Amino acid sequence: MSQISAYQALTRHLAEQGYSFICPSPETQGRVVKQRRSNVSTEDAQSAEALKSIIPDAIFESLNSAYIVTQNEDESYRSAIRVSNFYLPSLPCVNFDAAPLYYIHSSFPASSDAVFFGPDTYLFVSFLETITRHLLHVPGSIIDVCCGSGAGAIHMARTYPQAKSLGLDLNPHALRLGGVNARLAGVNVDFHESNLFAAVPEDMKPYGVDLIVSNPPYIASSTDGEDLPIYADGGAGFGLDISFRIAEEGMKMLSSTGVIVIYTGVAIPTSNPGHDAFLEKLNKMEHAEVFEYTVLHPDMWPEEIGKGAYADVCRIQVVGAVLGRNAKSREVVKEASRRKWAV
């Protein structure tokens, strides 16, 4: 059985069993794992007997053959992946007869090439569900930059199945799982290894991209590599470097009515608790207009506050920003597009 077939068989079985897992933060997962291992009734949860009581033998063997589940030296088993619900429950609108959509990502604990999923992803996708009001037309092209395993690209491809959807990321492991998740979701997304927009195909550039979405890393990179979690690679400026580069470079390839949606974290300084550095930078961008700027979580990752790069920060707020071209820039791009069509 191929790896994708193993994933499909697993998720079908989980759906039939009514499986549900809302993925928490790494810190919460760590506390749960520690508690489970300290309890006699749950400490053997990684044994073959425990796993086979949950997963049928044929599926277990397929996962083992595909190296999705591997055996440790002590004869316990370890899964390389976790299976989470793609969407948060939304009562009373939930259709209980519909099969749940699952999402494959890295297991706990995280490694240097981990494929992350959790609270940030849920908030990001929830925000994407609201941004259609900013689109003047149904998008024909969609890019999810710093896509990880593709949650943004997959959600937008489900929303606009006729659009050409592209996922870009530096992590090849994440891109491979992106392909799996797109197959499980029944959508077409092309994934490419790319440093931000470097791998955007030439055929997407002449008339601009209609929708760019991104949930980039936003925890600050450390100069000494200490005091910060493994997923800290958001760059300088309290982790805003990558987010702002996406805004700047994305504006250069937008269509005349295109929209950029960025979900990111903003460190709020203790000395000036009303200052938002990201909003300030966006408002100063040439040719750009901020259509919406919403605080989606006022205090994300509180465990990082008071240490390392965040020694003088009072909180990290998560925001959803929607921006596009200002009126003057839209006219310039429209005129350039008309000339291309004329040629």
Find how far residue 24's CA is from the centre of its chain: 14
Judge if 123 and 102 occupy the same domain. no
Residue 48: which pLDDT band, with cuts at 50, 70 and 90? low
Residue 227 confidence (pLDDT): 45
Judge if 82 and 157 occupy the same domain. no
What are the tens digits of pLDDT across the range 249-278?
999 999 999 999 999 999 999 999 999 999
Contact 279, 288 (CB under 8 A): no
Q: Establish if 75 belongs to a structural domain.
A: yes
Judge if 226 and 321 occupy the same domain. yes
Judge if 99 and 172 occupy the same domain. no
pLDDT > 50? residue 237: yes
Rounded-to-integer distance, Cα 143 and Cα 210, Å = 9
Q: Establish if 113 belongs to a structural domain.
A: no
pLDDT > 70? residue 130: yes
Residue 276 confidence (pLDDT): 94
Among 5-14, 87-96, 204-213, 281-290, the range scoring the smallest mean pLDDT is 87-96
Judge if 203 and 242 occupy the same domain. yes
Contact 253, 336 (CB under 8 A): no
pTM: 0.88
Containing structural domain, residue 13: 3-106
Average pLDDT over residues 108-129: 86
Residue 134 confidence (pLDDT): 95
Residue 231 confidence (pLDDT): 45
Judge if 93 and 195 occupy the same domain. no
Sign of the four-CA dihedral 184, 190, 195, 196: negative
Residue 98 confidence (pLDDT): 63
What are 4's two structure tokens? 């994708």
Judge if 235 and 317 occupy the same domain. yes
Q: Establish if 112 belongs to a structural domain.
A: no
Q: Establish if 325 belongs to a structural domain.
A: yes
What are the tens digits of pLDDT across the range 133-160?
999 999 999 999 999 989 999 999 999 9
Q: Which amino acid is at 280?
A: E
Looking at per-residue confidence, does 38 or 292 come out higher? 292
Q: Establish if 291 belongs to a structural domain.
A: yes
Contact 147, 169 (CB under 8 A): yes
Domain boundary among 44, 73, 106: 106
Q: Where is mean pLDDT largest: 31-45, 202-216, 299-313?
A: 202-216
Residue 49 confidence (pLDDT): 64
Judge if 260 and 321 occupy the same domain. yes
Average pLDDT of the chain is 86
Average pLDDT over residues 91-115: 73
Domain boundary among 106, 140, 172: 106
Find how far residue 160's CA is from the centre of its chain: 18
Residue 229 confidence (pLDDT): 46
Judge if 58 and 159 occupy the same domain. no
Residue 230 confidence (pLDDT): 41
Residue 37 confidence (pLDDT): 73
Rounded-to-integer distance, Cα 178 and Cα 115, Å = 9
Q: Establish if 114 belongs to a structural domain.
A: no
Judge if 57 and 132 occupy the same domain. no
CATH code, 164: 3.40.50.150
Q: Establish if 111 belongs to a structural domain.
A: no
pLDDT > 60? residue 84: yes
Q: What is the 3-class SS of the chain, one letter each residue? A: CCHHHHHHHHHHHHHHCCCCCCCCCHHHHHHHHHHHHCCCCCCCCCCHHHHHCCCCHHHHHHHHHCCCEEECCCCCEEECEEEEECCCCCCCCCCCCCCCCEEEEECCCCCCCCCCCCHHHHHHHHHHCCHHHHCCCCCCEEEEECCCCCHHHHHHHHHCCCCEEEEEECCHHHHHHHHHHHHHHCCCCEEEECCCCCCCCHHHCCCCEEEEEECCCCCCCCCCCCCCCCCCCCCHHHHCHHHHHHHHHHHCCEEEEEEEEEEEEEEEECCCCCCCHHHHHHHCCCCEEEEEEEEEECCCCHHHCCCHHHCCEEEEEEEEEEEEECHHHHHHHHHHHHHHHHC
Omega into 273 within 30° of 0, i.e. cis?
Answer: no
Residue 97: which pLDDT band, with cuts at 50, 70 and 90? low
Domain boundary among 106, 128, 148: 106
What are 237's two structure tokens? 């400026």
Judge if 135 and 161 occupy the same domain. yes
How many domains does the chain divide into? 2
Residue 135 confidence (pLDDT): 94
The fraction of the chain above a pLDDT of 70, given in percent, is: 83
Q: Establish if 173 belongs to a structural domain.
A: yes
Judge if 162 and 264 occupy the same domain. yes
